[in-house]
Chain A
Amino acid sequence: MREIVIISGKGGTGKTTVSAAFAHLAQNKIICDLDVDAPDLHILLAPDVRQTEPFISGNEAEIRQADCVHCGQCQKLCAFEAVSFDGSIYKVDPLRCEGCGVCVKLCPAQAIDFPEGHCGDWHVSDTRFGQMVHAQLFPGQENSGKLVGLLKTEARKRAREQKLETILCDGSPGVGCPVIASLSGATLAVGVVEPTPSGRHDFTRVADLCRHFRVPLAVIINKADLNPAEADAIEAMCAENGHALLGRLPFDPVVTQAMVRRQALTEFDNPVGNALKDMWSALQEMKTGREARTTTRIGE
């Protein structure tokens, strides 16, 4: 079983556009939207939701005012400056509370409740391209990495049960907690890069992250004609670092038009969609990380 994750570092470079096209082209797969913070893949795939489960994670401290003895211990202990005192009562700011529970466990009056948080919902759905697992973290919530991990576990379980070959994941921007969780266990990362100073800069960081976690990286240069010199520089960087280059996509209004039509680019005839088909074929020829490692082990 292979697990492909589409990432980029910088947001808005075309991860979801590429993910939708690959979701259309891949056989025997389950689709997974790991951008739980600002998911967009469902906009194109119009999922028919079959199952919805709450994502319960983390806790939040709440001071019971009736029992509070105003000793101020919670405020002193809180490393996140979440406890404030307005001259008469102590209060926890839910936006600052990290849910560590230190104040709860050490309050001498045991006056702090610690209810569990319902931080989001996750779904299993049917789409015209196959089954999809996806989620929505509620706005402002934490623990996106945990939710990403949960989605991957659910996708793997279903892939095993249904003997599916591929888990295809749309990732999130950045290099932090949700991206690290996305890369965990992945056999291949596909980086969608735009040839702009920001695109290259952030891609370098995500490429370093892939190296850190030993996930092989294949690269698509999107909107390549906006700055051909920068696109060349990215290609050179890929060659130098051993990242497979899948090809270049043009800056073309058809990308937005496909989005407006709620279609993957490969669902109708256009140059960008055709290039994506070639890239998907090229990707089939590549050895993914786990296969590559297994091969080496057999050879030893």
Chain B
Amino acid sequence: MKIAIASGKGGAGKTSVAASLARVWDAPLIAVDTDAEAPNLHLFLPPAIEKSCVSWLRVPGLDREKCVSCGKCRDICTYKAIASFAGKISIFQDMCHGCGGCFAVCHTGAITEDRRELGRLESGTVLEGSVRFLMGRTRIGESMTPPLLRQEHKALDEMLEAAPADALLDSPPGVSCPAVTVTRDADMILLVADPTPFGFHDFKLAHQAFLPLSKPVCAVINRAGAEGNEAGDEAVRAYCRENGLPLLAELPFERAAAEQYASGRLLADLSPEWRERFTALRDALRAEYARVKEADHA
């Protein structure tokens, strides 16, 4: 079971929920940080890194000797990564999306294999070796996140093949390509709802964005019961009820929890009550997944 923990709004509590769920998970698990632009899971689950490798994008180089300036590579490139000036081809590797079109159309072999660094993929273990760990991290200045995320997902599948496990995917915020690239490969999506006006707005956006993926989606409210925001909590509950979105848990707003997070510690380690909240959420996730699977078969 691969569960993507997503939110729409940043700062809703994705990483807090993912880290504390990993803490109480009682089956083989891989904790995966897919928020490659701003990865944080490793700060709460300090990993013992065993493998670190650069993630590359295949981009074109140019062999000027072989280039006949036919312009076919320029014409097929949608991303304006290939231009011609005064009959000479120029390649702007930073603009390349790695579609491979130029390789396919060049008949003289002038387009050569080159690569651009997208970022790094690192793997190892966390929580005294009990949980396997994988993270992606984009290179600063790299504008494209999805290709790195696709490679990360391949790496995850290899880890799962080597030894079956559940996977918790700490997902990127927002509802555009990085978030969808992660959630479309999950078996189930857990939306973390921040019940403030901003958080609720983005929560609804996320739900709408993920609906077409036809995955089971469920929700958890983070920071429920904040003074003066009772209506916000109720709005999330009502939305879940009206849209058949199972609301698995409500994590209360507490200054102690905010401080626990600010000091880099896990909410599940704050008190027995907090730990119980996460074991209950874990069990509810599993039950919800089993319920959906059963409904699928029926």
A106 interface residue (CB < 8 Å to B) = yes
- A37 engages B176 (CB within 8 Å): yes
- A16 engages B262 (CB within 8 Å): no
- B99 engages A102 (CB within 8 Å): yes
Q: With the chains together, A98 CA to B140 CA distance in Å?
A: 22
- B101 engages A176 (CB within 8 Å): no
A68 interface residue (CB < 8 Å to B) = no
Contacts of B190 in A (CB 8 A): none
A273 interface residue (CB < 8 Å to B) = no
- A140 engages B212 (CB within 8 Å): yes
Within 8 A of B (CB), among A68-101: 77, 79-80, 95-96, 98-101
Count: A-B pairs, CB below 8 Å: 187
Q: With the chains together, A223 CA to B263 CA distance in Å?
A: 13
Cβ-closest chain B residue relative to A136: B205
- Segment from B224-232, B236-244, B290-298 that makes contact with A: B224-232
- A40 engages B201 (CB within 8 Å): yes
Within 8 A of B (CB), among A190-211: 194-198, 201-202, 205, 208-209
Within 8 A of B (CB), among A17-49: 37-38, 40, 43
Within 8 A of A (CB), among B199-250: 201-202, 205-206, 208-210, 212-213, 226-229, 231-232
Q: With the chains together, A140 CA to B6 CA distance in Å?
A: 13
- B228 engages A173 (CB within 8 Å): no
- A177 engages B145 (CB within 8 Å): yes
B188 interface residue (CB < 8 Å to A) = no
- B173 engages A256 (CB within 8 Å): no
Contacts of A230 in B (CB 8 A): 262-263
- Segment from B38-46, B85-93, B120-128, B280-288 that makes contact with A: B38-46
Contacts of B205 in A (CB 8 A): 38, 139
Nearest CB in chain B: distance from A92 CB, A = 14
B25 interface residue (CB < 8 Å to A) = no
29 A-B pairs in the complex with CB atoms less than 8 angstroms apart: A12-B12, A12-B194, A38-B8, A38-B10, A38-B174, A38-B205, A40-B9, A40-B202, A79-B99, A95-B184, A100-B101, A102-B76, A102-B104, A105-B101, A137-B176, A139-B205, A139-B206, A140-B175, A140-B180, A140-B212, A173-B10, A174-B38, A174-B145, A176-B37, A179-B37, A198-B15, A205-B140, A209-B141, A259-B197
Residues of B within 8 A of A (CB): 8-12, 15, 37-38, 40, 43-44, 58, 76, 78-79, 97-101, 104-105, 138, 140-145, 150, 172-178, 180, 184, 194, 196-198, 201-202, 205-206, 208-210, 212-213, 226-229, 231-232, 255, 258-259, 261-264
